[in-house]
Structure 1
Amino acid sequence: MPNMKQRSCVDFTGGLDSEVSQAIDEALRENKKSRGTREEVLILGAPGSGKTTLMRQLRIIYDPYTVREREDFKPYIRSSVLHVFRQLHSLLPVETPSILKIPGLDSSPTETLVLTEDIATLIRDWWSRSDIQNLSSDLSLDPSTTHLLDRILPIAAKDYLPSDLDILFCHSDPLPALAELTIPFSEETRYRPILNCVCVRQSLGSIHKWLPIFGEISHVIFVFNLNDYDDLEDTRKTFDLWEYIYSSRFTRFAHIYLIVNRPSTFASKLTNTHPTLNSIYPDADAAPDIAIAITPAAAQAFLLRRFSERDWSGRRRIPRWEVDLMDTEGVRVTMRNMMDELVQTRLVTVCGL
């Protein structure tokens, strides 16, 4: 009967010498390091917050639009030109010279109007008038209005192909209600994660229906348009959404990052003739840091404090970045900083550092 304690030793290296074996081990370690870890990121915000612009910027920076995709944007951009033209026309005094009675432009706002080169020329000539420019300068127009109207002739041209800025300033989008983008950050960090970014453009009233489909989310980017401070309905939706996300069981383990959009526009808007913070938020007078004088910095601190006040437990630290989402380089820097934060939180979670 054989001795059961005696076992043969099998050389699984196949006779490889130690140097070759070490080289294989090193290659395996490097391969493990280079493999990205997928991080699920949900991008949320109230309507008009800038979440769609953020998704477009991520495409521009990390996965540039193809010629076919740019072609798909053409009708939406041309429609945006007509939209901002009519919107601007409605904001000007009634005695302002009008071109809406000219054939081709005399359709009702509900009718589909095609931006032909002839119509574009009519609008360009009207837009370039000194009196229209002077009146428009007093309205603090959205940058999309000036950009689209300044570029109306090339946009209407037959050989037009949308630029990155044209896409950013477009008011509508050929993308579905649920947009998804995978971003490898192989060059930005040693951790080499892969972000699977999902932007949900669904009704906030049905959030209880669609949020559960994402399971337990690991990361949430919440976008807040600071420039909407004087729109009480939008800010109410923002804070209601924030509170829901903050208290939902589906995000209880999520790392939440706050992007504050358009801080410079907010400062300009607050210091001009627009409604003051006190007239919109009565409790602003009671805030000790802004009771004496309203400054853009103090007003911004007051509004952003409403996000931190949702955390009654004090258990979460919410990293925050202020950036104009129309600024591609600013978004690039913000995303790199966010990735550093994401890597740090992952190290704390996994390694307890």
Structure 2
Amino acid sequence: MKKRSRGKNLSSAEKASQAIDEALRENRKSRGTREEVLILGAPGSGKTTLMRQLRIIYDPYTEREREDFKPYIRSSVLHALRQLDLLLPAETPSILKILDSSPTETLVLTEAITTLIHDWWSRPDIQNTSSHLSLDPSTMHFLDRILPIAAEDYLPSDTDILFCHIDPSPALVQLDIPFSEETRYRPFLHCTCVRQSLRSIHQWLPIFGEISHAIFVFNLNHHDDVEDTRKTFDLWECIYSSRFTRFAHIYLIVNRPSTFASKLTRHPLNSTYPDAEPDISPAAAEAFLLRRFAERDYSGRSSWGIPRWTVDLMDTEGVRVIMRNLMDELVQTRLVTVCGL
């Protein structure tokens, strides 16, 4: 028996119903397939790490892209040596002097230079002194991995890419990521990370005036730098109270809880904030800092109920969980906006 051709022998009412269904499908596609997300935060907050994590989770780097990172990762070794050289006591042998290299020169990881760096970093006195310094985790990571990084067949790992230092950083990074497979509502997130500054906010923020969602990243470990935290809260205030983001849903990601507790022992919170209680616990210290965000809300746009999550952005699984939670928030937001629920 021959099958009837689709659309033949349908009544006018059935044809009209099909046309309406098709129009509704097209309308849903045009309205609900893209959510704009702007990634914001002060320099060093973790914005770049978050964007790289999203690539690792949703669109893994290809072998060619990993090859492209190799020069930056090897230059990150020199960056690590410079940072360490600034922090080590004057009586400690300087690795840059041992290499007969100034901080402005390019370091070529020959076999001889790699051996010198490895042997110097392995010295018990250097290890003991470094353990008492406030080193950035990337410094220790690259010096610990100096031998594999210098190898001819080296291909950067995900962790190498996450720690990689690129100077200057790209002015704009964009990434499309799919929505959670667990939900029937499946648009994609168009994430944009712009290299922002407080001085140029009047130039770059209007460009994203139609943004629907913004993630603000805050690094807990910057609590001991008064100037840095001031810039963070000033940037937050400008973004949160701006007329260009008045319709945006804003989320807060609190970065670096893993090292916050140990840093508090070296730099107590009340040494920076006199109104903080002495010997405050890490949880109470985090709550104290988060209240600073609420205190900068002069907009009157809403009560302080911004969704926020605390996560170490170097933890891929932690970021994966945060993104699932964020997607759940976006679904709820869309239901309220579209359906009035």
Shared fold, TM over 0.5: yes
- Secondary structure class of the residue paired with 1:96: coil
In the alignment, is residue 170 of structure 1 matched against residue 156 of structure 2?
Answer: no
The answer to which of 125-134 and 255-264 deviates more is: 125-134
1:299 to 280, 285, 289: 285
1:331 to 308, 314, 319: 319
2:228 to 227, 234, 249: 234
Residue of structure 1 equivalent to 2:71: 75
2:302 to 299, 315, 320: 315
Distance 1:180 1:168 in 2: 16
In the alignment, is residue 47 of structure 1 matched against residue 43 of structure 2?
Answer: yes
Q: How does 1:140-159 map to 2 (within 5 A)?
A: 140-159=134-153
Change (3 A) 1:31 1:237: same
The answer to which of 81-90 and 168-177 deviates more is: 168-177
Q: How does 1:1-353 map to 2 (within 5 A)?
A: 13-16=7-10, 37-102=33-98, 105-172=99-166, 176-270=170-264, 272-274=265-267, 276-284=268-276, 291=277, 293-312=279-298, 313=300, 315-316=302-303, 317-353=305-341
| Aligned partners of 2:180 and 2:324 also within 8 Å | no
Distance 1:352 1:126 in 2: 64
| Aligned partners of 1:37 and 1:193 also within 8 Å | yes
How far did residue 258 of structure 1 move?
Answer: 0.2
Distance 1:144 1:204 in 2: 26
How far did residue 293 of structure 1 move?
Answer: 4.6
- Deviation string 1:263-290 (CA, Å, 9 cap, x unpaired) is 22112210x222x222211232xxxxxx
How far did residue 120 of structure 1 move?
Answer: 1.4
| Aligned partners of 1:79 and 1:115 also within 8 Å | no
Supply the AA of the counterpart residue of 1:336: R
Distance 1:179 1:292 in 2: 41
Change (3 A) 1:146 1:232: same
Matched residues, number: 331
Residue of structure 1 equivalent to 2:3: none
| Aligned partners of 1:76 and 1:174 also within 8 Å | no
| Aligned partners of 1:257 and 1:318 also within 8 Å | yes
Distance 2:306 2:332 in 1: 13
How far did residue 292 of structure 1 move?
Answer: 6.7
Structure 2 gaps, min length 5? 1-5
Residue of structure 2 equivalent to 1:4: none
- Secondary structure class of the residue paired with 1:282: coil
Change (3 A) 1:250 1:32: closer
| Aligned partners of 1:51 and 1:223 also within 8 Å | yes
Distance 1:174 1:89 in 2: 21
| Aligned partners of 1:183 and 1:195 also within 8 Å | yes
- Deviation string 1:51-106 (CA, Å, 9 cap, x unpaired) is 0000000000001112221112111111111111232133222222344333xx21
Task: Give the number of the structure whose alpha-carbon radius of gyration is greater.
Answer: 1
Structure 1 gaps, min length 5? 1-11, 285-290
How far did residue 128 of structure 1 move?
Answer: 1.1
The answer to which of 114-123 and 328-337 deviates more is: 114-123
Supply the AA of the counterpart residue of 1:328: T
- Secondary structure class of the residue paired with 2:138: helix
Distance 1:58 1:81 in 2: 24
Distance 1:294 1:176 in 2: 38
How far did residue 176 of structure 1 move?
Answer: 2.8
Supply the AA of the counterpart residue of 2:266: T
| Aligned partners of 1:57 and 1:328 also within 8 Å | yes
Change (3 A) 1:240 1:292: closer
- Percent identity of equivalent pairs: 79
Distance 1:223 1:262 in 2: 10
Root-mean-square deviation over aligned CA pairs: 2.7
Distance 1:329 1:241 in 2: 29
TM-score normalised by the chain length of structure 1: 0.86
Distance 2:148 2:261 in 1: 33
Supply the AA of the counterpart residue of 1:295: S
Residue of structure 2 equivalent to 1:7: none
